[in-house]
Amino acid sequence: MTDDTAARAAREDGAVPRHNLLSGPQPDVARAAGYADAPPRMGFFTDTSVCIGCKACEVACKEWNAVPEDGLELTGMSYDNTQGLGADTWRHVAFIEQRKPFGGQEPGVGHEDVDVFSAASALGTGPGSPGPGATAPPPGAAPAGAPAGEISPVSPDGRTELRWLMASDVCKHCTHAACLDVCPTGSLFRTEYGTVVVQEDICNGCGYCVPACPYGVIDQRRDDGRVWKCTLCYDRLGVGMEPACAKSCPTESIQFGPLDELRDRAAARVARLRAAGVTDARLYGEDPQDGVGGDGAFFLLLDEPEVYGLPPDPVVTTRDLPAMWRHAAAAAVSLAALAAAGFVRRPR
Amino acid sequence: MTGSDVPRDGVEGARPGRDALTGAHTGRRRRRGRGERAMVPDAEFSSYYGKPILNKPTWKALDIAGYLYLGGLAGASSLLGAGAHVTGRPALARTAKIGAAGAISLSLVALVHDLGRPARFVNMLRVFKPTSPMSVGSWLLVGYAPLTLAAAATDVAGRYRLVGAAATASAAVLGPAVATYTAVLICDTAVPSWHEGYREMPFVFAGSGATAAAGLALACVPAGQTGPARRLAVLGAALELGSFQLMKRRTGLAAEPLEQGRPHALLRAAEALTVGGTALGAYAGGRNRVAAAVAGAALLAGSAALRFGIFHAGVASAEDPRYTVVPQRERLAARRSPGA
Confidence of residue A126 (pLDDT cuts 50, 70, 90): low
Q: Count the alpha carbons within 13 Å of B74 in the hemisphere toward its beta carbon.
A: 33
Predicted pLDDT at A97: 87
* CA dist., res. B145 & res. A162, Å (int): 62
Predicted pLDDT at A68: 94
**Partners of residue A325 in chain B, C-beta under 8 Å:** 130, 184
Helix (H, G, I), strand (E, B) or coil at A210: helix
A91: enclosing H helix or E strand:
strand A91-98
Predicted pLDDT at B37: 55
Length of chain B: 340
Predicted pLDDT at A129: 57
Predicted pLDDT at A20: 65
Residue of A328, A292, A234, A195 whose CA lies nearest to B71: A328
Which chain B residue is nearest to residue A202, measuring alpha carbons? B123
User: Is residue A161's pLDDT more than 70?
Assistant: no
Mean pLDDT of all residues in B22-28: 46
Residue A122: exposure state from Cβ atoms within 10 A (0-12, 13-18, ≥19): exposed
A316 annotated ligand binder: no
Predicted pLDDT at B188: 96
Partner-chain contact A206 B114, CB within 8 Å:
yes
Predicted pLDDT at A87: 94
In angstroms, the separation between the Cα of residue A123 and the nearest Cα of chain B is: 38
Residue of A297, A19, A291, A194 whose CA lies nearest to B131: A19
User: Other C-beta atoms within 10 Å of B117: how many?
Assistant: 11
* CA dist., res. A301 & res. A273, Å (int): 11
Residue B332: exposure state from Cβ atoms within 10 A (0-12, 13-18, ≥19): middle
% pLDDT > 90, chain A: 64
Residue pairs between chains A and B whose CB atoms are closer than 8 Å: 260
In angstroms, the separation between the Cα of residue A178 and the nearest Cα of chain B is: 8
Assigned architecture for domain A23-99+167-317: 2-Layer Sandwich (3.30)
Partner-chain contact B79 A332, CB within 8 Å:
no
Identity of residue A309:
G
Partner-chain contact B329 A340, CB within 8 Å:
no
Predicted confidence (pLDDT) per residue in B287-318, tens digit: 889 999 999 999 999 999 999 999 999 999 99
Partner-chain contact A98 B20, CB within 8 Å:
yes
**Partners of residue A159 in chain B, C-beta under 8 Å:** 12-13
User: A48-52, A71-75, A125-129, A135-139 — which is least confidently predicted?
Assistant: A135-139
Domain segments of chain A as ranges: 23-99+167-317
- Which value, to the nearest 10 degrees, does the dihedral of the CA atoms of residues B98, B101, B105, B111 take? 120
Confidence of residue A110 (pLDDT cuts 50, 70, 90): low
Partner-chain contact B203 A307, CB within 8 Å:
no
User: Is residue A142's pLDDT more than 50?
Assistant: no
Q: Is the ipTM of this complex over 0.90?
A: no
A245 annotated ligand binder: yes
Mean pLDDT of chain B: 89
% pLDDT > 70, chain A: 78
Residues linked to residue A196 through DSSP beta bridges, in sequence order: A190
Which chain B residue is nearest to residue A226, measuring alpha carbons? B115
Please provide the DSSP assignment of B211-267 as one string: HHHHHHHHHHS-GGG-HHHHHHHHHHHHHHHHHHHHHHHHHGGGGGGGGSHHHHHHH
**Partners of residue B318 in chain A, C-beta under 8 Å:** 211
A98: enclosing H helix or E strand:
strand A91-98
Mean pLDDT of all residues in A256-278: 94
The arrangement of strands across the sheet holding A297-301 comes to: A254-258, A42-47, A297-301, A282-284
**Partners of residue B57 in chain A, C-beta under 8 Å:** 207, 210-211
Predicted pLDDT at B305: 97
Interface test with B, best of A306, A307, A317 (most B CBs within 10 A): A306
A90 annotated ligand binder: no
B321: enclosing H helix or E strand:
helix B321-336
Identity of residue A235:
D
Residue of B172, B137, B246 whose CA lies nearest to A338: B172
User: A123-137, B9-23, B35-49, B234-248 — which is least confidently predicted?
Assistant: B9-23
Mean pLDDT of all residues in A27-49: 93
Smallest Cβ–Cβ distance between A84 and the set B51, B131, B134 belongs to B51
Which chain A residue is nearest to residue B22, measuring alpha carbons? A307
% pLDDT > 90, chain B: 79
Residue of A164, A278, A210 whose CA lies nearest to B20: A164
In angstroms, the separation between the Cα of residue A99 and the nearest Cα of chain B is: 9
**Partners of residue B115 in chain A, C-beta under 8 Å:** 204-206, 225
Predicted pLDDT at A100: 67
In angstroms, the separation between the Cα of residue A125 and the nearest Cα of chain B is: 43
Predicted confidence (pLDDT) per residue in B34-53, tens digit: 555 555 555 567 889 999 99
A238 annotated ligand binder: no
The larger pLDDT score, comparing residue B194 to residue B27, is at: B194
Partner-chain contact A333 B190, CB within 8 Å:
no
Give Cβ neighbours of residue B103 (< 8 Å, ≥ 6 apart): B70, B71, B73, B74, B77
Is there a contact between A208 and A184 (Cβ–Cβ < 8 Å)?
A: yes
Mean pLDDT of all residues in A289-314: 94
What is this structure's pTM?
0.85
Which chain A residue is nearest to residue B129, measuring alpha carbons? A184
**Partners of residue A339 in chain B, C-beta under 8 Å:** 76, 79-80, 83, 210, 228, 232
Residue of A218, A199, A200, A221 whose CA lies nearest to A210: A218
**Partners of residue B4 in chain A, C-beta under 8 Å:** none
Predicted pLDDT at A116: 73
In angstroms, the separation between the Cα of residue B254 and the nearest Cα of chain A is: 15
Which chain B residue is nearest to residue A223, measuring alpha carbons? B116
A129 annotated ligand binder: no
Smallest Cβ–Cβ distance between A335 and the set B13, B55, B209 belongs to B209
**Partners of residue B17 in chain A, C-beta under 8 Å:** 76
Partner-chain contact B132 A183, CB within 8 Å:
yes
User: Is residue A259's pLDDT more than 70?
Assistant: yes
Smallest Cβ–Cβ distance between A94 and the set B48, B195, B328 belongs to B48
User: Is residue A302's pLDDT more than 90?
Assistant: yes
Mean pLDDT of all residues in B60-77: 96
In angstroms, the separation between the Cα of residue B324 and the nearest Cα of chain A is: 7
Predicted pLDDT at A114: 73
Which chain A residue is nearest to residue B1, measuring alpha carbons? A76
